[in-house]
Amino acid sequence: MRRVIFMVVIGLGALLLFSGCNGVMPVQQTQKPKVIKQVIVQKVSKEQIAQVIRDEKLAQANMMPEKQFVVYGEGIAPMNTISPAQALALAKRAAVTDAYRQLGEKLYGIRVNAKETVKDAALKDSRIVTQVNGLVKNATITDTKFKDGLFTVRMELDMNGNRWKEIFSY
């Protein structure tokens, strides 16, 4: 009889073991949705990147309206010249150079460096240096005037979308 009870207990234990029931209520688990990430790898050369950048600049340049830049350059005739003709030529050269500088400032901007020295709570030295770097092409002188040793030049630069491309897409 003991043997029969032992076999019944072993049988019930085996039944519970193989049926998958462990006597504990299953806990409901919340599963996070699976996110599938897809990465596309494409080889791009430096030339292709440069071309994309150029194309972006050109697309922006096509949207730019036509614009005219007008500047007035001034030059003073130096006092220690040999003749009035030399004074006029040097004053004109200074005025044209000043006009080109002003166009460069308008197109490319100006760099300003400043340095001040303070000693004993008083300003001892103050230096301001400005610099313009740029390329100005196809500017035209439309008017010149020389009066009382001052030479004045009126300079114009017409810019349209194609000119913007030519200058700024390098």
Whole-number Å distance between alpha carbons of 56 and 50 = 10
- Domain ranges, ordered by start, for the chain: 67-158
Centroid of chain to Cα 138: 26
**Amino acid letter for position 112:** V
Supply the pLDDT for residue 15.
62
Whole-number Å distance between alpha carbons of 65 and 87 = 41
Tell me if 75 sits within 8 A of 98, measured CB to CB.
yes
Supply the pLDDT for residue 11.
72
Centroid of chain to Cα 49: 16
- How many of the other CB atoms lie within 10 Å of CB of 112? 9
**Amino acid letter for position 6:** F
DSSP for residue 79? S
Tell me if 106 sits within 8 A of 71, measured CB to CB.
yes
Supply the pLDDT for residue 82.
93
- How many of the other CB atoms lie within 10 Å of CB of 164? 21
Supply the pLDDT for residue 71.
94
Supply the pLDDT for residue 29.
59
Whole-number Å distance between alpha carbons of 164 and 58 = 8
DSSP-derived 3-state class of residue 170: coil
pLDDT < 70 positions in the chain: 1, 4, 6, 12, 14-32, 39, 41, 57-65, 161-170
